[in-house]
């Protein structure tokens, strides 16, 4: 208890200072990501309607950015089909907010997450009086956890993967994090190894449950589908095969684009952050058609998808998908959407953030991991027989993860 009070004291002392100094950069980032005017005052507890008109007693889901919001929306769609719960979806970033507002079903209240200050967290909790608080993945905010617990609202994490690296880092900080982790009522984890890592840093054993990974659960998932609009754009580039690099980071675009061209594919690049479009155009030498400013290609241009929240359905149009953040950056990105689309997947050597899934895929022949440009070009030209089917079989071990997660919080 004393350590928890000390951490809260230090957090409340330094967090506002950091927030004030970071505010100009944060606001600039919000503007670049079209966040200005999108309700940012909600972050300091100012809302567009009176509290008396809010619906209370629902499930409060704290998500951060686009990936977490899409996961939350997937969960909400299934949850509403099984119970009469209503939901408050609470993103943190402007891009997450944009996707939430565009895609949230009718009746889901979408508001910005408040800054992690005690009085702001109390205000939003009293405003919506949720029966449950669900944090998507490994979001650990001291005041959100403490104030929710003080108000007697059950709370926990879903899809709470904890990589070996993150587990080691949090272990070094166990004295500071354990007093908050022990307050969690439920922690649904994707893999058995995650159970032991969370318990080792302070989560109560009885609070942890092996649910499987909701991201990889093929049941109830919105399978990527071809859209007429997307097909019409791609058709104008010709009838050659399409190689799509998804969620790329700086340096990868030019590297992958060059390999795609050499292998004889139409190059499609989907940068992780759409606001990097100018940087990507420069990296590709200006021979680019942007999805946001689409014009008929003149020949030999690369196609850059500078949009947010469309990646799932774009993958359905690819002949092969290459995973970003796996060549020059470390960690990788989620391969499951391409697998669900029935598209063969290639990745670079740095996919640690998605272990043990990637290891299982590799062992089953469901993914190609390449380390050199020559290996990449060779992999593009020939997909091993049965790769797509093998990848689907690996995902099947997570079947039912969504149902188990909902049951954990029901």
Q: Mark residue 137 as left, alpha or beta (left: phi above 0; alpha: psi -120 to 50; beta: remaining).
A: left
Mean pLDDT (the chain, rounded): 90
pLDDT digits (tens, 9 = 90+) for 61-78: 999 888 899 899 989 999
**302 with 284: CB under 8 angstroms?**
yes
- The answer to whether residue 220 scores a pLDDT higher than 60 is no
Of 115, 112, 89, give the one whose Cα is nearest residue 38: 112
| More confident of the two residues 133 and 45 | 133
Cβ(284)–Cβ(304) below 8 Å: yes
Mean pLDDT of 13-26: 77
CA distance 139 to 370: 32
The length of the chain, given as a count of residues: 410
Q: Retrieve residue 347's tokens.
A: 């990745």
Domain boundaries, the chain: 2-15+42-219+400-409, 228-396
CATH 3.30.465.10 fits 2-15+42-219+400-409, yes or no: no
Alpha-carbon torsion angle 22, 25, 26, 29, nearest 10: -160
Mean pLDDT of 289-310: 91
Q: What digits encode the pLDDT tens for the residues 366-382?
A: 999 999 999 999 999 99
- In the chain, % helix, strand, coil (3-state, to 5) comes to 50, 15, 40
Q: Annotate 181-224 with DSSP letters as a single string.
A: HTT-SEEEESSHHHHHHHHHTT--GGGEEE---GGG--TT----
3-state secondary structure of 342: coil
Domain 228-396 maps to which CATH number in 3.30.565.10, 3.40.50.2000, 3.40.50.300, 3.30.1360.200? 3.40.50.2000
Q: Which residues pair with 136 in a beta bridge?
A: 158
Do 2-15+42-219+400-409 and 228-396 have matching folds?
yes
Work out the average pLDDT over 70-99.
Answer: 90
pLDDT given for residue 26 in this prediction = 66
Q: Above 70 in pLDDT, residue 55?
A: yes
CA–CA separation, 217 vs 221, rounded Å? 7
Give me 380's structure tokens. Answer: 């593009």
Extract long-range pairs of 97-103: CB within 8 Å, 24+ residues apart.
Answer: 97/35, 97/38, 97/39, 98/33, 98/34, 98/35, 98/38, 98/308, 98/309, 99/66, 99/69, 99/70, 99/308, 99/309, 100/63, 100/69, 100/72, 100/73, 101/38, 102/309, 103/70, 103/73, 103/309
- The mean per-residue pLDDT over the stretch 247-267 comes to 95
């Amino acid at each position: 208890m004393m350590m928890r009070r000390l951490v809260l004291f230090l957090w409340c002392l330094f967090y506002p200072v950091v927030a004030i100094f970071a505010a100009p950069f944060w606001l600039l980032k919000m503007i670049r990501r079209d966040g200005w005017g999108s309700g940012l005052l909600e972050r300091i507890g100012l809302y567009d309607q009176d509290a008396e008109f809010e619906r209370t007693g629902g499930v409060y889901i704290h998500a951060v950015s686009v990936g977490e919001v899409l996961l939350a929306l997937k969960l909400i769609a299934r949850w509403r089909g099984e119970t009469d719960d209503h939901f408050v979806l609470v993103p943190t970033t402007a891009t997450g907010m944009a996707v939430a507002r565009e895609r949230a079903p009718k009746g889901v209240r979408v508001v910005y997450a408040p800054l992690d200050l005690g009085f702001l967290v109390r205000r939003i909790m009293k405003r919506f009086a949720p029966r449950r608080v669900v944090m998507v993945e490994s979001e650990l905010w001291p005041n959100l956890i403490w104030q929710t617990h003080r108000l007697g609202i059950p709370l926990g994490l879903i899809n709470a993967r904890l990589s070996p690296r993150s587990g080691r880092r949090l272990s070094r900080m166990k004295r500071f994090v354990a007093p908050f982790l022990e307050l969690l009522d439920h922690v649904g984890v994707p893999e058995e190894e995650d159970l032991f890592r969370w318990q080792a840093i302070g989560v109560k054993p009885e609070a942890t449950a092996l649910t499987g990974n909701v991201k990889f659960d093929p049941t109830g998932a919105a399978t990527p589908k071809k859209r007429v609009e997307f097909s019409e754009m791609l058709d104008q580039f010709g009838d050659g095969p399409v190689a799509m690099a998804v969620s790329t980071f700086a340096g990868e675009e030019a590297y992958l684009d060059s390999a795609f061209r050499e292998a004889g594919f139409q190059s499609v690049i989907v940068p992780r952050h759409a606001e990097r479009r100018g940087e990507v155009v420069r990296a590709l030498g200006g021979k680019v058609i942007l999805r946001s400013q689409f014009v008929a290609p003149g020949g030999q241009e690369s196609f850059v998808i500078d949009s947010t929240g469309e990646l799932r359905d774009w993958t359905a149009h690819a002949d092969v998908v290459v995973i970003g953040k796996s060549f020059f950056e470390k960690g990788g990105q989620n391969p499951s959407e391409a697998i669900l689309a029935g598209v063969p997947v290639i990745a670079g050597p740095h996919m640690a953030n998605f272990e043990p899934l990637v290891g299982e895929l590799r062992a089953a022949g469901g993914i190609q991991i390449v380390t050199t440009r020559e290996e990449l070009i060779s992999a593009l030209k020939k997909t091993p027989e049965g790769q797509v089917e093998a990848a689907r079989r690996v995902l099947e071990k997570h079947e039912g993860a969504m149902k188990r997660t909902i049951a954990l919080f029901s």
